Chain A
């Protein structure tokens, strides 16, 4: 017979109430766990999606004397320097320890060329990689396949008169046409003279307001030949899947592998991702706090009721020599057992709920991780909520006047 014996006997006696409280805590903890693990998974998904949407790392030659602007990144154009980027560099880049995190590596060569009467920026790319990187591109027509086939940016196409708007009536039947920037259009002229050679326009990009609006894309090998820069690259755009690793780590690893190149992270994409994740986390936190607050209120009310219900019993214990501290200890044991049980059940339920709910929130196939460490956190959180919210009722119980409690009316 110890204080814990009394506490356990009391729990057994008031099973219904104990189960009710356990359920209350598990619902609160479960919601928090589900939200936390969901937002964790979604955070990883967003991370991978954002990483897939565009490059987050750019590799350029160490020094340049002439620069062309490409999306805010200085890009060398004229090849006086010794340290050139070569085709092989795009291959070597895959040797870094974090190679699994590299989602797309897109090497390109840029150069100003004479297109009919004007000048335009010509980019040689591997279309497979480039299109994976520029998911937001909307192509009217089709992507180039043959050597002499090209893809043109919206401004270039407009200025050179390569496209014309589609009439309203025609629009519905050509739903695959570009719909952004300047409305729908179709390719009206396919032949285009670049650097004195005939090319065929197979596709035009809808306006993006990006640098590609003013660019022409052709295959890398073809552009290297056209610009007489065989084997040379102006830059390599890299998209790294970065869930938990800082992009900086990947940047360092690439720098180590390609010492002659300048590697930099595009901060913008990192910032945007951090911002989104921050908002998601904040939302989860607010909802969790509300639910846990309701749970705490429930515990508080139930415990207040329990104290009233047990006035006599507590009074008797006090009368026969239990100190206030002993009463507190007994009730604390009860609350702690209930809270710990609620915490662990809540963890299990939350994990399960998260696992079931994930497909409704995530667009891609992402794995749901069982987090054992979260179980420890859930128990701790359950204990904190249980103890904090029953603190006042318990103190009140300990202050019950024994003479009042045993009074026979």
Chain B
């Protein structure tokens, strides 16, 4: 696993311009935070408070209007577009609320999607896929299509896809948001398990019970960090 000593967000602001310059929406206001290696950080806040926006900014795919995102001293948004894609592939794993699985690829293929652009033998890719599917408990469903999986299984498959590249940081946007309490729990277990093995995780969640399991909870409101709670 690539080692990242810290990820630092420095005074990030984000303004969305809608319909020209007329109505500009300020979504993030000088947000600063740090995520340390091995941490499990949860981001909470009301709907529309800018959680997803902050996550995509951290995720190197949404350029902030002001401020910097620095990883190991490198300004992520100083990279070229293609280099930033490489950075996402090598350093980040994404789990989206809608999971965004490819409906026409089977479980194993969905898991190895981030490997598609890599020069690696088909066998090696398959092995890696089986390894992560094992980790999330889907090894026996490798050939199923996503619509043949339950909601919880889809969530776990999304996690498998996020971690197949052994990224230093996993970003998750309400990964249990679309799931009921029981299956949400099932997905949460996987995250906790990963974190126990040293995986750094930055997760947006609505569920206080889930958040309570994290090392740290950051509360955001109207684009500002209002409160940080540290465990222990």
- A residues contacting B by CB (< 8 A) are 1-3, 5-6, 9-10, 12-13, 312-313, 316-326, 401-403, 406-408
Q: Quick one: closest A residue to B53, CB to CB?
A: A403
Given A9-B104, A10-B104, A313-B102, the answer on whether A321 and B114 have CB atoms closer than 8 Å is yes
Q: Quick one: closest B residue to A406, CB to CB?
A: B96
Q: Which residue from B52, B86, B105, B162 sits with its C-beta under 8 Å from A6?
A: B105
Q: Roughly how many angstroms separate A325 CA and B89 CA in the complex, as a whole number?
A: 14
Contact A321 B109 (CB under 8 A): no
Q: Which residue from B52, B98, B105, B115 sits with its C-beta under 8 Å from A9?
A: B105
Q: Roughly how many angstroms separate A52 CA and B98 CA in the complex, as a whole number?
A: 76
Q: Chain B's nearest CB lies how many Å from the CB of A122?
A: 88
Contact B115 A408 (CB under 8 A): no
Query: What are 20 sample pairs from A and B whose C-beta atoms fall under 8 A apart?
Result: A1-B113, A2-B122, A6-B116, A9-B102, A319-B59, A320-B89, A320-B113, A320-B114, A321-B89, A321-B114, A321-B165, A322-B85, A326-B85, A401-B62, A402-B56, A403-B59, A406-B56, A406-B96, A407-B52, A408-B52
Q: Quick one: closest A residue to B93, CB to CB?
A: A320
Given A1-B112, A326-B117, the answer on whether A321 and B85 have CB atoms closer than 8 Å is yes
Contact B88 A406 (CB under 8 A): no
Q: Does B26 contact A (CB under 8 A)?
A: no
Contact B82 A323 (CB under 8 A): yes
Q: Which residues of A contact B89 (CB under 8 A)?
A: 320-322
List 6 A-B pairs, minimum CB-CB distance, nearest first: A321-B89, A403-B62, A403-B56, A13-B104, A402-B61, A316-B100
B82, B96, B173: most-surrounded residue (chain A CB, <10 A)? B96
The number of residue pairs between A and B whose CB atoms lie closer than 8 Å in the complex comes to 89
Q: Which residues of A contact B86 (CB under 8 A)?
A: 321, 323
Q: Does B195 contact A (CB under 8 A)?
A: no
Q: Which residue from B82, B100, B116, B162 sits with its C-beta under 8 Å from A324?
A: B82
Q: Does B191 contact A (CB under 8 A)?
A: no
**How many of chain B's residues touch chain A, expressed as a range?**
35 or more
Contact A318 B85 (CB under 8 A): yes
Told that A6-B102, A316-B100, A320-B162 touch, could you supply 7 new A-B pairs with CB distance under 8 A? A1-B115, A9-B105, A313-B102, A319-B88, A321-B85, A403-B62, A406-B100
Q: Which residues of B contact A323 (CB under 8 A)?
A: 82, 85-86, 117
Q: Which residues of B contact A321 (CB under 8 A)?
A: 85-86, 88-90, 92, 114, 117, 165
Q: Does B72 contact A (CB under 8 A)?
A: no
Q: Which residues of A contact B104 (CB under 8 A)?
A: 9-10, 12-13
Q: Which residues of B contact A401 (CB under 8 A)?
A: 61-62
Q: Roughly how many angstroms separate A394 CA and B228 CA in the complex, as a whole number?
A: 44
Q: Which residue from B61, B81, B85, B98 sits with its C-beta under 8 Å from A403?
A: B61
Q: Roughly how many angstroms separate A407 CA and B57 CA in the complex, as a whole number?
A: 12
B89, B92, B104, B173: most-surrounded residue (chain A CB, <10 A)? B104
Q: Quick one: closest B residue to A312, CB to CB?
A: B100
Q: Roughly how many angstroms separate A6 CA and B114 CA in the complex, as a whole number?
A: 12
Q: Which residues of B contact A317 (CB under 8 A)?
A: 113
Q: Which residue from B93, B117, B161 sits with its C-beta under 8 Å from A3?
A: B117
Q: Roughly how many angstroms separate A403 CA and B117 CA in the complex, as a whole number?
A: 20
- Within residues 185 to 204 of chain B, which ones have a CB less than 8 A from any CB in chain A? none
Q: Roughly how many angstroms separate A256 CA and B35 CA in the complex, as a whole number?
A: 95
Q: Chain B's nearest CB lies how many Å from the CB of A384?
A: 27
Contact A319 B94 (CB under 8 A): yes
Q: Chain B's nearest CB lies how many Å from the CB of A403?
A: 4
Q: Does B97 contact A (CB under 8 A)?
A: yes
Contact with A along B156-183 (1 / 0, CB 8 A): 0000011001000000010000000000
Q: Quick one: closest A residue to B114, CB to CB?
A: A320
Q: Which residues of B contact A326 (CB under 8 A)?
A: 85, 116-117
Q: Roughly how many angstroms separate A118 CA and B59 CA in the complex, as a whole number?
A: 108
Q: Roughly how many angstroms separate A5 CA and B86 CA in the complex, as a whole number?
A: 20
Q: Chain A's nearest CB lies how many Å from the CB of B115?
A: 6
Q: Quick one: closest B residue to A12, CB to CB?
A: B104
Given A2-B116, A9-B105, A407-B52, the answer on whether A324 and B81 have CB atoms closer than 8 Å is yes
A317, A318, A321, A403: most-surrounded residue (chain B CB, <10 A)? A321
- Within residues 41 to 75 of chain B, which ones have a CB less than 8 A from any CB in chain A? 52, 56, 59, 61-62
Q: Which residues of A contact B113 (CB under 8 A)?
A: 1, 6, 317, 320
Q: Roughly how many angstroms separate A227 CA and B73 CA in the complex, as a whole number?
A: 112
Q: Chain B's nearest CB lies how many Å from the CB of A315?
A: 8
Q: Does B125 contact A (CB under 8 A)?
A: yes
Q: Roughly how many angstroms separate A313 CA and B129 CA in the complex, as a whole number?
A: 20
Q: Which residues of A contact B96 (CB under 8 A)?
A: 316, 406, 408
Q: Chain B's nearest CB lies how many Å from the CB of A287?
A: 39
- Within residues 112 to 157 of chain B, which ones have a CB less than 8 A from any CB in chain A? 112-117, 122, 125, 129
Q: Roughly how many angstroms separate A408 CA and B48 CA in the complex, as a whole number?
A: 11
B81, B88, B100: most-surrounded residue (chain A CB, <10 A)? B100
Q: Chain A's nearest CB lies how many Å from the CB of B146?
A: 12
A5, A12, A401, A408: most-surrounded residue (chain B CB, <10 A)? A408
Given A1-B113, A407-B52, the answer on whether A320 and B105 have CB atoms closer than 8 Å is no
A324, A326, A402: most-surrounded residue (chain B CB, <10 A)? A402
B56, B122, B173: most-surrounded residue (chain A CB, <10 A)? B56
Q: Quick one: closest B residue to A6, CB to CB?
A: B116
Q: Roughly how many angstroms separate A326 CA and B116 CA in the complex, as a whole number?
A: 9
